[in-house]
Structure 1
Amino acid sequence: MTAVPVALIQVTDVRRITPRMARITFAGDGLDALPSWPDQQLKLLFPRPGQTVPRLPEEPGDDAMGWYQAFLAIPEAERPVMRSYTVRSHDAERQRLTVDFVLHGTPGEAGPATRWAATAKVGDTLARYGPAAEYARPLPLDAPGLILLAGDETALPALGSLAEALPATARATAWIEVADPAEEQPLPTRADLTVHWVHRDRAPAGADGALLAAVRAARLPQEPVFAWLAGEAGAVRGLRRHLIGERGLDARGIDFTGYWRRRLTQDDAPTKEDLAEARERLAAAREQAG
């Protein structure tokens, strides 16, 4: 393994934990030495059609920029598809890494990551980039007040890891949007956590979207001191504006990430809204640091 956190990983277990979510466990070099934290991000590299193993740079360079340039130099038809995911759990002793995959859409509509996950079997091989400790974000999970968590099913792996990391003294409330009741899953925690499941198949049509409408209509027992928001980028922006403009939450007390964009993939160019979100995240990080 080079200084850049890249390595091949092999599937050791596949489970369908809900009709639309697959939990896949991997083994591979270096998993015993990974740093670990809640809401831990990494990138997965998927082989192209006709490949059994993703092609990685032969001369990867000594740093992240060098590796990425070498990655882009691979012909597009052979270059792995790279997508961002969250570590659901990490077992350093057993050298195992578990990732939950949301299975979006029908087979004809699904993207390359969903197509791979829907048919994954023991022995299949991916590559990982990360996790890297420099991307860890300290989160105030022991805040002496209400913690608000909100997201859709793509946020569930991270939200599950956050729930497990909450101390027993924490009080938290979560709103989670999923397709229907069959997509609900347990969220083990030591904390006093109240979970509100928002079902898209039962939500009234409206401009706000199901998740934002549910949070906007909620009566909170007290004003949250920290909010964590993730999921579809437009919904996350709406939630953040609501919490700041209508609930009066300090912008510095919100951690927010748009995981995906409606009708767009990670390969598409950023929109004006994406760039605005990036500026907001940068400004929030500067305020927290200052």
Structure 2
Amino acid sequence: MTLPVTFVEVVAVDRITPRTARVTFEAAALADTVGTAPDQQLKLCFPRPGQSRPVLPAQQDDPMGWYQAYLAVPEAERPLLRSFTLRRRYPGTRRIEVDFVLHGDAGPAAAWALRAAPGDVLGLVGPSALYAPPVPFAEAAAEADWVLLAGDETALPAMATLLEALPEGVRAHAWIEVEDRAERRQLRSRAELEVRWLYRDGAAPGSALTGAFRDGVLPGGRPFVWLAGEAGAVRAVRRHLVGERGVPKERIDFTGYWRHRLTQDDAPTAEDLADAQERLAAAS
């Protein structure tokens, strides 16, 4: 199973909320299977200062070999990597959409998105079925009495694709932390969906989400919970669900997308490593 590596060119940039830019890319090459499933993870390669486009790692037949090829690129030329969720693929084309949360110039992705324009070029690694969950989301949801998807604005692209994949008859809840009311957007689903927007209004990231779980009422019955967003908040909510609400660990799919005051370039903390080990154990 080969992990795709290709260039993507910006076709359009749309500010869908004050703090979110949706960038439409045209890929130089794209497998037919890309965009056919929800929550497809990918990595974007950003150019180094002075480069008009990034230097990409060589394509590898080994799906895990791409990272060694990436490290083989001289450090001064090596692209900056950031993880995203594919928001949408235009059927029958090589055109895709990726949403960027605009949180200032602190990181390469947000800084690039603030200035992105048609004709700009990035690199794309993935998506790949290699990183699909062992139990498909729709299958796990079908076995539950109700489904809860919870996270912050970084989780919205994945959450939207998952909600769109749910069939009729599923009881679904979405609890979403954003900065303020201006960040709300329409979510579509065939499921019986109830959306709860949670506003930080200047408070610390994760505070509105963790507070909602601490004080909120959950339905009775057998749940399936999907959590994503700031790692510390995801960790706190998961511990609350297991320890205080009695939700079995295997009924929770969790991912820390980012870390408050840390970047993807910073070393993982002990808690990050523990989370990664538990996710690996659940997938085995």
Q: TM-score range by the shorter chain?
A: over 0.9
**How many residues are matched?**
279
The reply to whether residue 136 of structure 1 matches residue 135 of structure 2 is: no
**What is the DSSP-based 3-state SS (H/G/I as helix, E as strand, rest coil) of the residue aligned with 1:268?**
coil
| Match among 256, 263, 266 for residue 265 of structure 1 | 263
1:281 match: 279
Corresponding residue to 2:231 among 226, 230, 233: 233
5 Å matches for 1:21-170? 21-31=20-30, 33-35=32-34, 36-57=36-57, 59-105=58-104, 107=105, 110-137=106-133, 138-139=136-137, 140-170=140-170
**Offset of 1:94 from its aligned partner?**
2.2
Structure 1 window deviating more from structure 2 (230-239 vs 219-228): it is 219-228
Label 1:4 to 1:191 Cα distance change in 2 as closer, same or farther (>3 A): closer
Which deviates more, 133-142 or 156-165?
133-142
Q: Are 2:5 and 2:59, in contact at CA under 8 Å, matched by a contact in 1?
A: no
- Report the alpha carbon displacement of residue 60 of structure 1 after superposing the two structures with TM: 4.3
Q: Residues 223 and 200 (structure 1 numbering): CA distance in 2 closer, same or farther, change over 3 Å?
A: farther
CA contact under 8 A between 1:141 and 1:167: conserved in structure 2?
no
Q: Distance in 1 between matches of 2:2 and 2:31?
A: 15
- Conserved in 1, the CA contact under 8 Å of 2:47 and 2:79? yes
Separation in structure 1 between the aligned mates of residue 167 and residue 246 of structure 2, nearest angstrom: 26
Cα gap change, 1:112/1:27 in structure 2, threshold over 3 Å: closer, same or farther?
A: same
- Contact 1:34 1:131 survives alignment (8 Å): no
* Structure 1 residue matching 2:111: 3-state secondary structure: helix
Where do 4+ consecutive residues of structure 1 move more than 6 Å? none
Aligned mates of 1:202, 1:48 — CA distance in 2: 32
Q: TM-score, normalised by structure 1?
A: 0.90
Q: Give secondary structure in 1 for the equivalent of 2:185.
A: coil
2:245 aligned residue: 247
1:162 Cα deviation from its structure 2 partner: 0.9
Provide the C-alpha distance between the structure 2 equivalents of 1:66 and 1:180, rounded to a whole number of angstroms.
42
Conserved 8 A contact 1:150-1:174: yes
Q: Hey, what's the Cα distance between the residues in 2 that align with 1:67 and 1:95?
A: 22
- The answer to whether the Cα contact below 8 Å between 1:45 and 1:80 also exists between their aligned partners in 2 is yes
For structure 2, list consecutive stretches of 5 or more residues without a partner in the other structure: none
Contact 2:17 2:182 in 1 (8 A): yes
Give the TM-score normalised by structure 2. Answer: 0.92
Which whole-Å CA distance do the structure 2 matches of 1:217 and 1:209 have between them?
12
Distance 1:208 1:13 in 2: 31
Cα distance in 1, alignment partners of residues 143 and 195 from structure 2: 18
Quote the offset at 1:144 in angstroms: 4.2
Task: Return 5+ residue gaps in structure 1 as ranges.
Answer: none
Give the Cα–Cα distance (whole angstroms) in 2 for the partners of residues 70 and 94 of structure 1. Answer: 28
Q: Which amino acid aligns with 1:74?
A: V
**Letter of the aligned partner of 1:124 in structure 2?**
D
- Which sits farther off after the overlay, 46-55 or 215-224? 215-224
CA contact 1:143–1:170 (8 Å) conserved in 2: no
- Post-superposition offset of 1:65: 4.1
1:224 and 1:185, CA in 2 relative to 1: closer, same or farther beyond 3 A? farther
Distance 1:272 1:81 in 2: 24
Sequence identity (%): 58
Does 2:203 match 1:221? Answer: no
